Structure formats: C-alpha cells, structure tokens
Amino acid sequence: MNACAVACASSRRMARTAILLAVGSGFSAVGVSGIAAAQAPSELRLELGAAQVQQLARDTRSAALFNILFRESDVHFATMLSAAATYTRDSLSAMQAIGDLFWRPNADSRFLAEVGGAVANYGVTTIARGGNVNGWLRQRVAIGDGGVWAGGSLSQTRRDDFDAHATLVEAGGWYRINGNLTASGSLARRRTDDSPLMFASGTFLSRVANTYDLTDASLAARLESGRFSLDAAHLWRRGAGATFVNQSAFFWTAGWELNSRVAVAVSGGRQLADPSRGSPDVTLYSAVLRYAIRTLPADIVGTSITSSARLLQTPDGTLLTVLVNAPDSVIVEVAGSFSGWDPVPITKTPTGWQMQVILQPGRYRVAIRYDGGAWRAPGNLGRIKDDFDGESGLIVVP
C-alpha cells in the first residue's frame, strides 16, 4: 500500500485519538511559569469533563473525559504522574499515561531540568490499532523576572500497522510582566515520516521525500487574578524543505477555583497536528470539573485566615514582618529565600502569629502554609508560581 493509500485509510480513524491526546489532561496550562523557590505539597486530583471535537474535514464527535493526576515535590525534586481515558458514544477509545520528573540543585537555583515520557493506546477495544511512545528532555534557566528553555523529544507511533517516527527540537523564553501576567514565546523544528497524519492534517510534499519538516512559532500568555486564570496561545506553522504547509491556530483555557479543592475549566480553539503525540489537526471545546483530594487540610477549609507582609526601615536594616491572623488550632509556618526555605521561628500574638527578620538590600521570596498544606504568598503580595506549582510572594528591599 502506498503512502497516500495508507494516509486515506488511517485518517478516517484519527478523530478518537484526537479526543484523548488533545484534551485528555483537561486542566493543563500553557506552560509559561518561571522558576521560583516555593514548594508544592503532595496532591491527588480527579478531573471529569465533556468535549466536542472535530477533526479537520470530519464530523463533530462528543466525548467524556476522565483524568487522574498525582504530584509531589520537595526542594530538589518534583514528580507528576497522570492517566487519562476518553469515552465516546460507542466505546472506550483511548488511554494515555504521562510521567514527568523535575530537578533543581537547590531551592534558589536558576536551573531546572525536566525529563518525561508518555505512552498512549489508540484503541482499548481494538488493541492492534496501535499507539504512541514519546520521551522528552528540557532545561530551563531563570533570568531575573523571566528565563529561557531548550529541549527536544523523540517519539514513535504505530497506527493500523503503519510505523512512524518524529523528532522535535525547541527553544523559548518567558517573562513575568507583573505578579499576575506572564508571556512566553518559542520556536520549534519538527521532522516526521508520519504520512497518514500529515495527509489527514492538510500537510503535503512538493516533491518526493522521506520526511516532513515543520517550523513552529508560538506566543502564549497566562493571566492570574485571585481564583481566576486565563491561558491563551497562538501557533504559526510553516513547511521547510519539501514540505508545503501554511497554518495557524489559537487555543484558550479559562479556569476558576471555586474553593481549595474544587475548580472548573473551559477550553476552546484549534490545535494543529502533533507528530510527537500522533494527534491530528482538531477543533475542540471542552468543560472540565476538578476535585483535589489532597491539598489544604479539611479542618481549615472555610476558616477565615488572613495574612500580610510589611517592611520597616531600622538602624540594623530593613525589618520584614509577616502577620497571620489564624485560629490557635492551625499550625502556621513561614519560610523564604532568606532562610533557605527552612521554616523560621514565629511568635504568638493576640490575633494570630508574627514573624520578623532583618533583610539586607535585594530580592526575596516569602511564603506561608497552614497545617502542612500548600505554600502561599502573604495576602497583600503578588503571587509568583513556580514549575513545581508552589507559590510565594516577592519582596524587594531597596
């Protein structure tokens, strides 16, 4: 069977694959966060949702989504494991498992390394249809309020007895415009011999060649305001070498944390074909409900806790005071870059707790946690999140 015949036969079966690989993770972000020093607690969360997916030039399909995710971190390591399944109107059509490991030399290091992999099965009821194996490696370096990253990936896809391979080399950077808005951009070069995927996605060769070469450029932004977050990304794709294609796509996700355990997210837009995952060109809209099983301890959910940080000039330097208004039953911890992220001594006050430390000129981060829960910024400071999904507040001492 020639490449075109394989492509025509295989493209008819790609819509189910797209449903899982495009929206199976549900509540994911654009990935533009920087490197800070706070730590995230262990978390186990469940995500349930529904989606409408339309592959390029195909009928729209409905899908139910399920995802389970576990993550845990300390000063040096963070791990993330997830599994997703998609149910269509006729059968369970696909499953996927992802693993990610992050490492940094110390809490204040500018360097963060990431290695990960994913395995997907395109048809549970028909195992022989095939699947995808994908592995990646990235290095990130923080520079001031931004940073850069570079990395690559290798993947293999087997679909209806057709084997294909793909490589990716990418580089990019991000910049935190203020405490709530982060922008990023990237440039990637892809190469694949997955002719069925390329044919189904409107990508062709201008002459006889063994591979398709693609150049992708993207711009993305993430806005966080209280419990609300908005991610948006635009991708431009051009062909290189013998590849002929000129495409663009826009995708967005809006999330709202209803409380410390429950959140909702809606997404929409177009996602171009991804040879690394074996997923085709799709337009999709989805809604996801997330429930976190292990986050803030249950006994303080709904408790009125307030916190603030203030600076005062003294003869010995700048005095940082962190005030926490919390019930006596709550265990309060304060830590920051000034303490190597070890908790510092706090004292009891008539309304809660207080921490004081003398700081010299420079930039510092400070965070608070309650009963071993998530690290968070004092209430009057801008929130800065890191790649470990921790949170801290930024203080600048002149």
Residue 30 — pLDDT band, cuts 50, 70, 90? very low
Geometric angle at alpha carbon 75, from 306 and 181, rounded to 5°? 55
Write down the pLDDT at residue 190: 97
**247-304 tens-digit pLDDT:** 999 999 999 988 778 999 999 999 999 999 888 898 999 999 999 876 444 444 445 6
Write down the pLDDT at residue 74: 67
* Backbone Cα Rg of the chain: 23
Q: How much is the pTM? A: 0.72
Rounded CA separation 19/171 (Å): 27
Strands in 177-225 per DSSP E = 181-192, 204-205, 212-225
Residue 9 — pLDDT band, cuts 50, 70, 90? very low
Which DSSP state fits 22?
H
Q: Is 213 exposed, middle or buried (0-12, 13-18, 19+ CB in 10 A)?
A: middle
Write down the pLDDT at residue 15: 40
Decide if pLDDT at 382 tops 80: no
Residue 123 — pLDDT band, cuts 50, 70, 90? low
Long-range contacts of 250-255 (CB under 8 A, 24+ apart): 253/27, 253/28, 253/29, 253/30, 254/228, 254/229, 254/230, 255/27, 255/228, 255/229, 255/230, 255/231
Decide if pLDDT at 348 tops 90: no
Q: Which domains are present in the chain?
A: 3-292 (2.40.160.40), 298-397 (2.60.40.10)
**For residue 4, what is the enclosing H or E element?**
helix 3-11
Write down the pLDDT at residue 218: 97
Decide if pLDDT at 306 tops 70: yes
Higher pLDDT: 127 or 65? It is 65
Residue 108 — pLDDT band, cuts 50, 70, 90? low
Write down the pLDDT at residue 304: 66
Write down the pLDDT at residue 32: 34
Write down the pLDDT at residue 34: 34
Write down the pLDDT at residue 10: 42
Higher pLDDT: 38 or 320? It is 320
**Residue 147, CA distances (Å) to 103, 130, 174, 176 in order:** 16, 38, 5, 9
The mean pLDDT value for 349-367 works out to 86
Write down the pLDDT at residue 94: 76
Write down the pLDDT at residue 139: 95
Tell me the pLDDT of the chain averaged across its residues. Answer: 80
The SS3 assignment for 252 reads strand
**134-191 tens-digit pLDDT:** 999 999 998 877 899 999 999 999 887 889 999 999 999 998 887 678 899 999 999 9
Decide if pLDDT at 41 tops 60: no
**Residue 77, CA distances (Å) to 101, 112, 113, 271, 296 in order:** 7, 10, 10, 31, 21
Query: Looking at 66-75, 88-97, 336-345, 367-376, which range is the least confident one?
Result: 88-97
Beta bridge partners of 278: none
Query: Looking at 14-23, 62-71, 198-207, 360-369, which range is the least confident one?
Result: 14-23
Decide if pLDDT at 387 tops 70: no
Tokens of 157: 């896809």
Q: Are strands 352-359 and 43-55 parallel, antiparallel or unpaired?
A: unpaired
Residue 345 near residue 269 (C-beta atoms within 8 A): no
